Chains A and B, each alone.
Chain A
Amino acid sequence: MTVLFYTILTLSVLGILSAVILYFVASKFKVEEDPRIDEVEKMLPGANCGGCGFAGCRGMADALVKQEDISTLYCPVGGADSMKSVASYLGKVAPEKEPMVATVRCGGVCAKRPRTNEYNGSKSCAVVASFYVGETACAYGCLGYGDCAEACAFDAIKINPETGIVEIEPDKCTACGACVKACPKHVIELRKKWVKNRAVYVSCVSKDNGAVTMKACKAGCIGCGKCAKVCAFDAITIEGGLAYIDSQKCKLCRKCVNECPTGAIALKGMEPLPKEPKAPAAKPAEKVVEPKAEVNKESVNEQK
């Protein structure tokens, strides 16, 4: 009984003594931190994705509070709403950036881009890109092992086993840019986000000449330049046998989509323009948006 009593007594005295020491040490060496940092951190999404360039949301919050001019800081995940609330809390001017979305610029689905060999090694795009062309003959397109999907903190990227290329869900994508960095082939690009996830982009990054591109993939851009000629907004440039649509200049008029002989220009969230130039241009495009593009194509053909 006495043993028990002394044990409890010793430990209690030790505990109280330590508490007193800790109390004085803590008050002596107290780190004064701006309480606003905690508040700002709460306003940020808390994804710690690194999309802003800082290691995590705390680092971003710290910079937002300490920097006079916050126009260079931007949280792509929280977007304009989160930046506005932070700015109004801190009494600073909110940086403005239009919403962006990651876009996979490769249309080399299995049907159009035949497999030329079977890969049996480590399933990683970075490893494959470091030593060979990949399972198809195209040296530029999506490899489909999903390094980007692994890098995505928002579960927005999935490998589609039927097409062999990755797909991004625009609604989940926060444009943090992690996938852009992860892709060794530089296939993914951050492009301007339109309402209803509308998009027009060249779904190919092959810099090969036309003949080589076509041999490797039926959906590749051959750099013929037809799209650039038809573009009224000067948004399309042809460089090194590859067309590129500037998402800032593009007005989604969709003229280029019909011009492309290989179908390399992808159209998302909208119906294509009718193929025949004489047909009343506005009518089919104004139709109620149907879920599947194929359905509408058929109806356009019927009208002809």
Chain B
Amino acid sequence: MKTFPIGGVHPSDNKEWSCNKSIEVLELPDVVNIPLAQHIGAPATAKVAKGDKVLTGQLIAEATGFMSANIHSPISGTVTAVDMQPNGQGMRQMMITIKREGDEWMPEIDRSSEIKRQCSLESAEIISKIKQAGIVGMGGATFPTHVKLSIPDGCKAEYLIINGVECEPYLTSDYRTMLERGEELLVGVEILKKALNVEKAIVGVENNKPDAIALLRKIVKEKNFAVVIEPLKVQYPQGGEKQLIAAVTGREVPPPPGLPIHVGAVVCNASTTLAVYEAVQKNKPLIERVVTITGKQLKEPRNLLTRMGTPIATLVEKAGGLPEGDVKVVNGGPMMGRAMVNIDSPVTKGCSGVTVYSGSEVYRMEPSACIKCAKCIEACPMALEPYLISKLAKKQMWDRLEEEHITDCIECGCCQFTCPAGIALLDYVRLGKQTVMGIIRARAAANAPKK
């Protein structure tokens, strides 16, 4: 069975809490907050003002430039504010607040559950529809999908890889989507194939989800889809774009600014593929997604179909409320998620799950000195030296960090997970990466006008 060649760890997957809970539709929230920056790139530009009436699925913020995404209203009602508000990490962010009145949808959206397989649109039309719908990578990276599908000159896509790996522990939203919306997802794959004009489409699924693999294979056989379902050996971070390409095709993506397309691959997340299906065949913009709310101490972990902008506190309530004592709520999973200080913050396009920890799980291990055991180097899937880059970031040696390829880091957290001394390697690696990326951008901006 295939897997990626370098590094990787095996955290306990903890998916048993929510993997058997089928997707439930969460009641509509009374008030939603929609951040204008829910994707990588420039934040969208608000198209509504205080007092405006909006319908479900109406465009409320438009993409600012190419590397950006549209945002649509997830509910119908009145805009009550367009203002700075604290996000999950407490940082101020521009958000549109909408108060709900009923649930009136835009008339062009097809809300029937009938599966529409036939797609007569051309590649450019499909991409434009995806752009209109504001679809971004829903696995967490939130890279605008239309940018990914627009192949740069001189490159050719050979493989379309659908990421159904969901290697992050605890999370089960992609898994449930594959199980319950498998056929629609596969139609989405066909649409993406057409948009990219590729022959080969592969759905990568880790073999800890045998039922999903079996089901998808059954649908492929019965309904005659030209898609390969590829079981992968369990290893974190297989769901990383570069790791998945390496696992499936054996090709290595060159370091930044190298992109997957340079080795002829385009990777799309499973939930994103479903969103593509809905956008192209049903005219439905990206206004809702499946969010896993889970945790060992939660009374009722669930997979909830949630409208964007719903306060995370609502999901926590739905799962039986926060446990007693010290609690940590993380937006995402334990490896890559970000702890939240404000659980009234909204569900966004990249939020695939919310995990709740309590008791001793909340606290980090007390760090001790680095004994140079090199476990972090062994675990790093990008073949970096985490102990070194974290140390260099601590000493603010930004030039050296750039030489050590810190921009290659995918922030998967394997180094910190594997560290026997409990050193918070990723804290400083992230800081270093952020700073070095800033320096590189500033340098590019300074050099640009001279051309």
- Interface hits, A197-243 → B, CB 8 Å: 208-209, 212
Known pairs A116-B341, A117-B341, A121-B364; A132 contacts B91 (CB<8 A): yes
Known pairs A137-B86, A139-B91, A208-B92; A130 contacts B431 (CB<8 A): yes
Contact A132 B92 (CB under 8 A): no
A120: B residues at CB distance < 8 A: 362-364
- Interface hits, A114-172 → B, CB 8 Å: 116-118, 120-122, 124, 126-127, 130-134, 137, 139
Q: Which residue of A lies closest to B362 (CB)?
A: A120
Alpha-carbon distance A293/B354, docked complex (angstroms): 49
B251: A residues at CB distance < 8 A: none
Among B84, B86, B90, B92, residue most surrounded by chain A Cβ atoms (within 10 Å):
B90
B362: A residues at CB distance < 8 A: 120
Can you list, as one digit per residue, whether each of B355-382 has a CB less than 8 Å from chain A (1) or not (0)? 0000000111000000000000000000
Could you tell me the distance in whole angstroms from the C-beta of A213 to the nearest C-beta in chain B?
11
Does chain A have a CB within 8 A of B52?
A: no
Alpha-carbon distance A233/B427, docked complex (angstroms): 46
Contact B90 A208 (CB under 8 A): no
Q: Which residue of B lies closest to A120 (CB)?
A: B364
Known pairs A121-B424, A208-B92; A126 contacts B431 (CB<8 A): yes
B431: A residues at CB distance < 8 A: 124, 126-127, 130
Counting residue pairs across A and B whose Cβ atoms lie within 8 Å, the total is: 52
Contact A137 B363 (CB under 8 A): no
Place the interface of chain A in its size category: 10 to 19
Among A124, A133, A212, residue most surrounded by chain B Cβ atoms (within 10 Å):
A133
A134: B residues at CB distance < 8 A: 90
Instruction: Name B427's contact: one of A116, A118, A122, A137 (CB within 8 Å).
Output: A122
Alpha-carbon distance A98/B120, docked complex (angstroms): 75
Alpha-carbon distance A116/B342, docked complex (angstroms): 9
Q: Which residue of A lies closest to B339 (CB)?
A: A132
Q: Which residue of B lies closest to A129 (CB)?
A: B431
Contact B424 A122 (CB under 8 A): yes
A131: B residues at CB distance < 8 A: 89, 338, 430
A209: B residues at CB distance < 8 A: 84
Instruction: Name B341's contact: one of A122, A133, A208 (CB within 8 Å).
Output: A133
Can you list, as one digit per residue, whether each of B76-94 has a CB less than 8 Å from chain A (1) or not (0)? 0000000010100111100
Alpha-carbon distance A133/B85, docked complex (angstroms): 12
Alpha-carbon distance A124/B363, docked complex (angstroms): 17
A126: B residues at CB distance < 8 A: 431
Q: Which residue of A lies closest to B92 (CB)?
A: A139
Can you list, as one digit per residue, whether each of A226-262 has a CB less than 8 Å from chain B (1) or not (0)? 0000000000000000000000000000000000000
Can you list 10 pairs linking A and B with CB atoms under 8 Å apart?
Answer: A120-B362, A121-B364, A121-B424, A122-B424, A124-B431, A132-B338, A134-B90, A139-B86, A139-B91, A208-B84
